[in-house]
Amino acid sequence: ISNYLTAIGDDGTRRSWPDRLTLQFEKVQDMRYGENPHQSAAFYREPSPAPGTLACYRQLQGKELSYNNIADADAAWECVKTFEQPACVIIKHANPCGVAISAKPIDAYRLAFATDPTSAFGGIIAFNRELDAATAGAVSGQFVEVLIAPKVSAAAREALAKKENVRVLEVPFGRNGNPPSPLAPLPDGEGNFVNALRCDYKRVGGGLLVQTPDRFNVGASDLKVVTRARPTAQQTEDMLFAWRVAKYVKSNAIVFCGKGQTLGVGAGQMSRVDSARIAAIKAKNANLSLAGSVIASDAFFPFRDGLDVVADAGATAVIQPGGSMRDAEVIAAADERGIAMVFTGHRHFRH
């Protein structure tokens, strides 16, 4: 309540940000240790967590959740919720190492796992559909730290019971039981008036950075084609999928995708061209072809070198924000290589 009150000025008008910020959380558990064994840690949650958020989890089995388990589980859960179709997200060290959508959760899992089987070892796996016995059995074939789904069937629980150390979490969606629409309007409190408990925080020395969550997504009608080649319907569908994945990859992010599957993920590099190279290497290591693939870049290409790397790897369409001083140079390079490219007008840095 105090955060709502302090966000109201002396004249009674609402301000975007309060002059003073007072937050209250309730302790859920003490932890064995934090990010590293020499660090002490605990997990707190909001007094009334928003429905469908990770803090609403119910643990069905497995060892106690660790600090890193919860951090990675949140990354996996937030990513998988952005998809309307059955989806699977595999997270390792806060980055997606495999994401896929398909008609059935088990097929989405197999495609996500195929992106990077090496990195998926010991990962966090999230589904946006009920976890059934067949999918649980398939997942049991790999080493997994945490499994998350909105519901876990009785048969799936029985199958997973043999892996008693695997942490299995049920996180129900909102009141209607359906995943939130990624293109729905932002909840009240994201515009002119801020609910501080729904914000993102980053501690700095002696202070706190606060921002509204990055919930912006685009649809096909929002894309601006900037090249002579126009994307096909399949390319557009794949680019929108890649764009949603890229939002959850640490910057600089380059994501190769095709037919609802990530093919190579380049994450967290200091130069965009290196992220492009790593993404292509990842696909090669997984024996996945990039011929005819699309790529998403979380921010603009500052030079044409990154565009050339993805084109050499086999990409035929690119989705990126645009906005570089050298946009014309990058567009010309795409035209030269026969690549379709679209601008979204919005960046998705993630740190």
Q: pLDDT per residue over 42-94, tens digit each? A: 999 999 999 999 999 999 999 999 999 999 999 999 999 999 999 999 999 99
pLDDT higher than threshold 50 for residue 189: no
Give dist(CA 343, CA 183) in Å, integer. Answer: 18
Write down the CATH number for the domain with range 220-343.
Answer: 3.40.140.20
pLDDT in tens, 86-128: 999 999 999 999 999 999 999 999 999 999 999 999 999 999 9
Q: Give the mean pLDDT of the chain.
A: 91
pTM assigned to the model: 0.91
pLDDT higher than threshold 90 for residue 198: no
- The per-residue pLDDT for 14 is 56
- The per-residue pLDDT for 197 is 61
Q: Quick check: do 51-170 and 220-343 share a fold? A: yes
The identity of residue 194, as a single letter, is V
The first and second tokens of residue 35, run together, are 């990010």
Rounded percentage of the chain residues whose pLDDT exceeds 70: 89
| 123 closest CA partner among 200, 194, 69, 199 | 69
Write down the CATH number for the domain with range 51-170.
Answer: 3.40.140.20
CB 260 within 8 A of CB 239: no
Confidence class of residue 193 from pLDDT cuts 50, 70 and 90? very low
Count how many Cα atoms sit within 13 Å of the Cα of residue 233 in the half-sphere of its side chain. Answer: 0
Measure Cα distances from 174 to 52, 178, 202, 270, 323 in Å: 5, 7, 26, 37, 36
Polymer length in residues for the chain: 351
Query: What is the pLDDT averaged over residues 323-338?
Result: 96
Q: Where are the domains of the chain?
A: 2-21+183-211, 51-170, 220-343
Q: Please report, to the nearest 10 degrees, the dihedral formed by the alpha carbons of residues 208, 211, 212, 214 taken in order.
A: -120
Give dist(CA 27, CA 323) in Å, integer. Answer: 43
pLDDT in tens, 249-277: 999 999 999 999 999 999 989 999 999 99
Give dist(CA 72, CA 93) in Å, integer. Answer: 6
Confidence class of residue 164 from pLDDT cuts 50, 70 and 90? very high
Query: What is the pLDDT averaged over residues 193-218?
Result: 84
Lowest mean per-residue pLDDT among 88-102, 150-164, 165-179:
165-179
- The per-residue pLDDT for 190 is 41
144-149/123-127 β-pairing: parallel
pLDDT higher than threshold 90 for residue 185: no
Confidence class of residue 181 from pLDDT cuts 50, 70 and 90? low
Strand intervals (E) in the chain = 26-30, 42-45, 58-61, 87-92, 95-101, 123-127, 144-149, 167-170, 200-204, 207-211, 224-225, 254-258, 261-266, 293-297, 315-320, 340-343
